[in-house]
Amino acid sequence: MPENKQEAQSDGEPLWRQNVFVLWFGVFMTGVALSEVMPFLSLFIDTLGHFSKNELSFYSGAIFAVSFLVTAVVSPFWGKLADRKGRKLMLLRAALGMSIVLFLMGNVTNVWELFVLRALQGAMGGFISNANALVATQTPKVHAGKALGILVTGMTAGNLIGPLFGGVLATFFSYRTSFHITGVILFLVFLFTLFLVKEAPRPASIRVARVSTKTMWQNIPNKPLIVGLFVTTMLVQTVNTAINPIISLFVRELMQHASDTTFIAGIVAAMPGIATVIAAPQFGRIGDRVGTQRMIKIGFMIAVIAFIPTAFVTSITMLMFFRFLVGISDATMLPAVQTLLSKNSPTEMTSRIFSYNQSFQSLGSVMGPMMGAVIASLFDYRAIFIFSAVIIIINATLFHFTSQHIKPKTT
């Protein structure tokens, strides 16, 4: 018994378990902070001035997207700093920075102040990526998959609960109070991380992390596939976020300006996340049997089937159903993309590959709201769903060609 206990201690098991569960809460609340504004962002912006429909759509898209744009730009800098100074320090920076910025959003007086604070929110980001990196490097390999899987559920649950959380707070309190409450919760994340997360020095991991990009690509046997998966992730995220800035406006239009628009918009925004949480584990097991490439292609088909009819919905119930179907398509595609990336990346470069994939996902989060806002201004809210279907068809075509280049993974 003592030997087994000692072995568990040397294996780092108590340390990694504590890290995982503390960081799960942090990742969860980060997901909430990033997604809670979806049901009421455009409605909040509408209270900051007198805007036409086109102006409101444009400002909503720009303010929603700027956070992700800044994240995509500054992430490499924070990544290099994390390699030198430690990932826990970057977690503390991100949690405290987001806490302050979110709290200040509740005090803005015009649309430009909100725009600047959303940009600062993106600049302060990096909690999720550094949480994944810390857990991946501090967890024994035999437990790494389980630990990272737990973090993924935290992020997904945060993105799922965020719109509902934001919608409920905005309905029962106010738009501004919802920012204040979220800022306080993120400060708690900062305190939990400060006192409960432990990071042991890992020199070997740091040396691997500093391998140059040129060397990294020389060691990848399936470059066309990897790049294709990056593009797949970016375009899936583009269509997922295209409706976000104006979702509350579309719901308000369908409900003919009913009083509970914010709450209903929160439920609608949460539908894809609910479907993904329910379906992803089952589809993951199915993918192991039928093949990950086939699952991605099935996901493309489901997405097209979901987006085209959404352009013609006449009720909130129909909108919820087709948004749920979009989540089903995500549940088939996104885990399969992650699996293909893992299988076709050299082991020592897996974390670098996943960080690049995250950058492409951030680019999709920028492109989606901006394109959605432009299309809503030029045409109508409903045209966004036709646009999304076209993007999915293009995505499927590109994936068909890039996935033909798979070679056996070198070890």
Identify the pLDDT of residue 103: 92
Q: Which of 217-231, 295-309, 395-409 has the highest mean pLDDT?
A: 295-309
Distance from CA of residue 118 to its chain's centroid? 16
SS3 180: helix
Identify the pLDDT of residue 287: 62
Burial class (CB in 10 A: 0-12, 13-18, 19+), 37: buried
350 — pLDDT class (breaks 50, 70, 90): low
Give 96-149 pLDDT, tens digit per residue: 998 999 899 989 999 899 999 999 988 887 787 777 777 767 777 666 556 665
The whole-angstrom separation of Cα 120 and Cα 66 is 9
Backbone angles phi, psi at 389, to 5 degrees: -65, -40
Q: What is the CA radius of gyration of the chain?
A: 21
- Pull the structure tokens for residue 28: 């969860």
What CATH number labels 211-404?
1.20.1250.20
411 — pLDDT class (breaks 50, 70, 90): very low
Find the range with the poorest average confidence among 4-18, 239-253, 294-308, 319-333.
4-18
Going by C-alpha positions, the residue among 329, 335, 310, 318 that lies closest to residue 272 is 329
Q: How large is the angle between the packed helices 350-378 and 223-241, nearest 10 degrees? A: 40
pLDDT at 8 over 50: no
Fold of 11-196: Growth Hormone; Chain: A; (1.20.1250)
pLDDT at 32 over 70: yes
The whole-angstrom separation of Cα 395 and Cα 378 is 24
| Amino acid residing at 277 | V
Output 67 or 156, whichever has higher pLDDT.
67
Q: Which of 12-16, 122-126, 207-211, 235-239 has the highest mean pLDDT?
A: 235-239
Output 211 or 71, whichever has higher pLDDT.
71
Output 163 or 394, whichever has higher pLDDT.
394
Per the prediction, the chain carries an average pLDDT of 78
In eight-state DSSP terms, residue 173 is S
Identify the pLDDT of residue 285: 61
360 — pLDDT class (breaks 50, 70, 90): confident
Find the range with the poorest average confidence among 31-35, 219-223, 297-301.
219-223
Find the range with the poorest average confidence among 159-173, 199-213, 374-388.
199-213
Write down how long the chain is: 411
Give 38-88 pLDDT, tens digit per residue: 667 778 888 888 888 778 878 887 887 788 788 877 777 776 677 677 778
Q: Which of 279-283, 323-327, 403-407 has the highest mean pLDDT?
A: 323-327
The reply to whether 211-404 shares the fold of 11-196 is: yes
Q: Which of 28-42, 174-188, 340-354 has the highest mean pLDDT?
A: 174-188
Residue 84: half-sphere exposure toward Cβ, Cα within 13 Å: 6
Q: Averaged over 89-97, what is the pLDDT?
A: 89
The whole-angstrom separation of Cα 126 and Cα 265 is 28
DSSP-H helix ranges across 197-260: 203-209, 213-218, 223-241, 247-254
| Amino acid residing at 298 | I
Going by C-alpha positions, the residue among 369, 236, 389 that lies closest to residue 312 is 389
pLDDT at 10 over 70: no
Burial class (CB in 10 A: 0-12, 13-18, 19+), 21: middle
The whole-angstrom separation of Cα 353 and Cα 374 is 32
| Amino acid residing at 32 | V
Identify the pLDDT of residue 280: 65
Identify the pLDDT of residue 9: 42
Share of the chain above pLDDT 90, in %: 12
Going by C-alpha positions, the residue among 13, 32, 33, 10 that lies closest to residue 21 is 13
In eight-state DSSP terms, residue 410 is P
- Pull the structure tokens for residue 401: 């060609």
Sketch the domain layout of the chain as residue ranges. Answer: 11-196, 211-404
The whole-angstrom separation of Cα 193 and Cα 93 is 10
This prediction's pTM: 0.68
The whole-angstrom separation of Cα 205 and Cα 353 is 15
Q: Averaged over 324-332, what is the pLDDT?
A: 85
Give 213-267 pLDDT, tens digit per residue: 566 666 677 778 888 888 998 998 888 888 876 777 888 888 876 667 777 877 8
